[in-house]
Amino acid sequence: MDIELAKCECCGLKEDCTQDYISQVKENFDGKWLCGLCSEAVRDEVNRGKKQFLCMEDALKAHMSFCRKYKSNPAIKVADGMRQMLRRRSDLTSSSSSNSSNSKKYSRSTSSISYY
């Protein structure tokens, strides 16, 4: 099993991967290799349901454009990507549940607190 260094075509992150894994990722993203975070962000765009992106190609182009904005500091770019992805997922979760279930979800029982 040969290990190669693969560079994400969106954010530039480098990862050690097998050739089989690199090929598999490229098959899913129009011949481009994406790191795990960027691939999740692109899939998230495709699956958002707002019909903004009808295909993988459009979502990939949009994410690559987003990544180009932050080329000067990859850490900021990755953090912003995670923030956006978590915000979208949070919005989907909160819109599907009612307010009463949300208040129960975050309530804390005093009987579960231990004092030492």
pLDDT tens readout for residues 6-35:
999 988 888 899 999 999 999 999 899 999
* For residues 66-74, average pLDDT: 71
Which one has a higher pLDDT value, 21 or 68? 21
Residue 13 is part of which domain span? 1-76
- State the pLDDT confidence band at 71, using cuts at 50, 70 and 90: low
Show the tokens assigned to 111: 């009987």
Query: What three-state secondary structure class fits 80?
Result: helix
Cβ neighbour number for residue 93 with a 10 Å cutoff? 10
Residue 81 lies in a domain: no
Query: What three-state secondary structure class fits 21?
Result: helix
Residue 109 lies in a domain: no
Residue 116 lies in a domain: no
Residue 61 lies in a domain: yes
Residue 29 lies in a domain: yes
| Domain count within the chain | 1
List pLDDT tens digits, range 91-110: 777 766 644 444 444 333 43
For residue 23, the one-letter residue type is: S
**Closest residue by Cα to residue 9 from 27, 31, 28:** 31
Residue 97 lies in a domain: no
- State the pLDDT confidence band at 66, using cuts at 50, 70 and 90: confident
Residue 51 lies in a domain: yes
pLDDT at 98: 47
- State the pLDDT confidence band at 44, using cuts at 50, 70 and 90: confident
Residue 37 lies in a domain: yes
CA–CA separation, 18 and 75 (whole Å): 25
